[in-house]
Amino acid sequence: MGIFSLVTGRPGPSGYGSASTAEQVTEGIDASNLTVIITGGAAGIGLETARVLAIRKAHVIIAARNMEAANRAKNTILDEYEAANVDVLQLDLSSIKSIRVFVDNFKALNLPLNILINNAGIMFCPYQLSLDGIEMQFATNHIGHFLLTDLLIDKMKETARATGIEGRIVNVSSVAHLLAYEGGILFDKINDRKGYSDKRAYGQSKLANILHASELSRRLKVEGVNITGNSVHPGFIMTNLMKYSAVSMKIMKMFSFFLWKDVAQGAATTCYVALHPSLKGVSGKYFEDCNEMKPSAYATDPLLAKNLWDFSRKLINSASKA
């Protein structure tokens, strides 16, 4: 898969490519026995992912910070497909407290959990700290999803054992992981304001998404658990994620329009990795345009992945005590 395939939409080894849509890659798949949580499912590619999973008959839980938007998303799906099974729960990924409340609320529903799609995120925002005192892009894009996954993993293991159905965890990363700081993850300078770059901080958080999925996959394999963990790059899509850089992105799109996707195409790789039967047992991989790709050297560094795991746990424990 290269620039020619990206521009032309020519299918790769999977049979799909950059022009494939979420509906196309899930055609014929019956997900009626699956329960899915998707973060950031109220808008953009998250909403399209939720919509397609719902029309494939999965029980979809939209986890979103803005409940008004989440309910609008639910109604949009129901307007199209009356039989859709969609619920909404509030979740602010930048808040450790909110994540714990969300998990408690989900568990109170007494539902199984087959698929977790860590999709939500923020991009290129000015320097700011979360309520827990963590740089906002790292807090929202990585730490929030790391903690959410950690708190839900036992439910997923329980579901996989009880049903015999493979669980899947999908981290929505980005090719922007290539833009991370020198060294990959600045463990000692996560909250450093002086050296802050909105784009490199975003790249760092997206690199963390890949490393998280990789280390999670390794640990699940060691345990012999029937759950996979993978990461994806959805492609270049103009969504609300770019609100902090809308003008510059629109200018960039004018000169690189042939590289951009629409929302239906942008959700394809996530839906493919979450549902497609050909990926049974495939774990610890990175996908672009519905095909496995090799990410950066930092993203494939097992020591960096382990160090990030340990660092994330310590950071969450420290922030929780504070």
Instruction: Please state, in angstroms and rounded to a whole number, the distance separating the CA atoms of residues 137 and 144.
Output: 10
Q: Are 170 and 270 in contact (CB under 8 A)?
A: yes
Residue 55 neighbours by CB under 8 Å, 6+ apart: 23, 77, 80, 81, 84
Measure the CA angle with vertex 275, ends 274 and 280; round to 5°. Answer: 90
Q: How far apart are CA 171 and CA 120, in angstroms?
A: 9
Spatial separation of the C-alpha atoms in residues 240 and 316, rounded to whole Å: 28
Question: What interhelical angle do 44-55 and 67-80 show, nearest 10?
Answer: 40
Tokens at 141, concatenated: 């894009």
| First and final C-alpha spacing in the chain | 47
Other C-beta atoms within 10 Å of 314: how many? 11
Select from 157, 278, 297, 275 the least CA-distant residue to 214: 297
- The answer to whether 57 touches 36, Cβ cutoff 8 Å, is no
* DSSP-assigned letter for residue 143: I
Q: Which of 16, 81, 181, 196 is catalytic?
A: 196
Length of the chain measured in residues: 322
Under DSSP, is residue 114 helix (H, G, I), strand (E, B) or coil?
A: coil
Question: Quick one: DSSP state of residue 126?
Answer: P
196 is catalytic: yes
Residue 209 · residue 231 · CB < 8 Å? yes
The catalytic residues are 196
